[in-house]
Amino acid sequence: MSFSFTPERRAKLDALILRYPKKQAALLPALRLAEEQAGCIDFDAMVHIAEILDVSPARVLGVFSFYTHYRRPGTGKYLVQVCSTLPCALRGSDAVYDALSSELGIGRDETTKDGMFTLKKVECLASCGTAVCLQVNDDYIENVRPEQVPEILRKLRGGA
């Protein structure tokens, strides 16, 4: 197995586990800690977490695959998630998504050849009042219009 938590992250996870009535309930934060450590969550990380939490690897995979926000292997430097739930849809999220897809030359769940961007459509990002909402890694970009897409990507490419 090629993944194991660093001693610091394992100590964090052990402290988190104590907050829950059952250690299996710490699965989501355990996945987050693995993602922080490795930049994404691969199968080895899921097996490691399963062993720590006394659950099956299939259980970890099931939870991991339910949530779109965890980074998969091969995810680009910028994970661009476009909310497609009704409030954002009514404010034009399809057009924003199409503009991103066109500018990047990729479709849903694809990554640009240079490894910079992965594009996803996701459900509500809990910022409905500022539709259309994008999430780029851990940051929100709100009130997005299709015509803003080139500038958003330019700033990301420039690291701004």
Rounded Cα distance between 103 and 155, Å, is: 14
Out of 40, 55, 124, 156, point to the residue binding ligand FES (CB under 6 A). 124
Q: Please report where in the chains the tokens 């594009």 appear, as a residue.
A: 119
Residue 92 in contact with ligand FES, rule: CB under 6 A:
no
Stretch of 30-38, 44-52, 60-68, 84-92 contacting ligand FES, by CB under 6 A: 84-92
> By C-beta, is 13 or 119 nearer to ligand FES?
119
- Write out the E strands in 2-95: 78-83
82 contact partners, CB below 8 Å, separation of at least 6 = 88, 93, 96, 97, 100, 119, 120, 121, 122, 132, 134
| Nearest distance in Å: CB 88, ligand FES | 3
Answer for which of 34, 49, 52, 125 binds ligand FES (CB under 6 A) is 125
Chain contacts with ligand FES (rule: CB under 6 A): 83, 85, 87-88, 124-128, 131, 133
